[in-house]
Amino acid sequence: MENTYHPKKYLLAINIFNSYASRCPDMVKGFFGIDTLF
């Protein structure tokens, strides 16, 4: 059985999310409520 966890895809998603969050941090923080992560 193959491992369904793909670190590279996960890191890619995190990088995309971080780049998006850096462009509009207030909207992202308010929407997701994760201002402590940034």
pLDDT digit string, tens, across residues 12-30 = 888 887 787 677 667 666 6
Long-range contacts of 12-15 (CB under 8 A, 24+ apart): none
Residue with tokens 């780049």: 19
pTM: 0.40
Confidence tier at 36 by pLDDT (50, 70, 90): low
Q: What is the DSSP string of 2-33?
A: -----HHHHHHHHHHHHHHHHHSHHHHHHHH-
Res 22: pLDDT: 72
